[in-house]
Copies of this chain bind each other. A is one copy, B any other.
Amino acid sequence: MIGLGRMGSDMTRRLMSKGHVCVVHDIHPAAVAALEQDGATGTASLADFVSRLSTPRVVWMMLPAAIVDQELAELCPLLEAGDIVIDGGNSYYRDGIRRGADLTRRGLHYVDVGTSGGVAGLARGYCLMIGGETDIVDHLGPVFTALASGIDAAPRTPGRAAGHYAGTAEQGFLHCGPQGAGHFVKMVHNGIEYGVMAAYAEGFNILRNANAGKRTHSADAETTPLQNPEFYQYEMALPDIAEVWRRGSVIESWLLDLTATALLQDPTLDNFSGRVSDSGEGRWTVAAAIDEGVPAPVISAALFARFSSRDNAAPANRVLSAMRKEFGGHDEKKEGS
């Protein structure tokens, strides 16, 4: 395991808890030391790391997408034909296709694994979406089995049975196709995640403002009055609503479980500023939709809402204000909604 951030460390621990022997490396010695305490073999250099693995080596990288290429440039010369390199991070699937071709030229095997599960994965197991050569993916079966959440993670889908669709999907990992396919599926997974998260977020915002009729509104030509304040007189208990939806509703989900946890701790979520990062997959999902000619209005709206949360709409908004000033003489209102 190269890269002992949150994900890499937890995955190493899960592998070891299932009986796998792990050699680890990270540029931060403290991260290596922490894993050594948990039973891993720490290494101080890539050369040392490589030398500790028996051939065919299996190297799993959990690194920020931006530094995978430089890591590969250092790593590959140290490896031997037949060794396997796995990119388990959030790489763009097109980089996976390119890297796969590069490594194949060098006699190495490249496998891309989209890994979902987050900080809960250590305990729950991970959902693994895999791209690569079939025999190599088969060879790695025990590793994937150890990391994956396993068949007990969810009730069996009606109609699934031994022999029918007899793949590994029920185990929590899936060979999705050739190189890049794993990160493609993970990309779409995260795109969906953006949309699902945004749907809940919008819903809770609407609930929170169900008391809009209690607030006074100014009456001027610039602002429409709330037509029917009597219909917005509710003070909604968001933590309890999240909780009740977890039981028997159509919108039960793990993301809702997490929302219920967060709202219970802090019903107003005032500890958050609301600047929402995006780590690439949402962008790539929309780009793929566009290439394919597939409408993705929901996922793209979710993506753009994140951009707007970081004030990136401000220049556009200033253009709107400037137009309004020109045609209507409207000065901007400085506050209120």
Contacts and interface: CB of A to CB of B under 8 A. Distances in A.
B249 A117 contact: yes
Interface in A192-217: 192-210, 212
Contacts of A255: 250-251, 253, 323, 327
Contacts of A193: 199, 250-251
Interface in A270-302: 270, 272-280, 283, 285-302
B192 A195 contact: no
A216 to B, nearest CB: 12
B191 A323 contact: no
Given A195-B198, A318-B272, A323-B258, A185 B207 contact: yes
Q: In the complex this chain forms, how many copies of it are found?
A: 4
Nearest to A228: B291
B248 A153 contact: yes
A241 interface: yes
Given A154-B246, A305-B313, A203 B258 contact: no
25 contacts: A66-B219, A66-B220, A116-B245, A117-B250, A125-B248, A127-B248, A154-B257, A159-B264, A172-B244, A185-B241, A191-B199, A193-B199, A195-B203, A205-B296, A205-B315, A206-B294, A206-B296, A224-B279, A231-B291, A232-B288, A253-B254, A259-B326, A269-B319, A294-B312, A309-B313
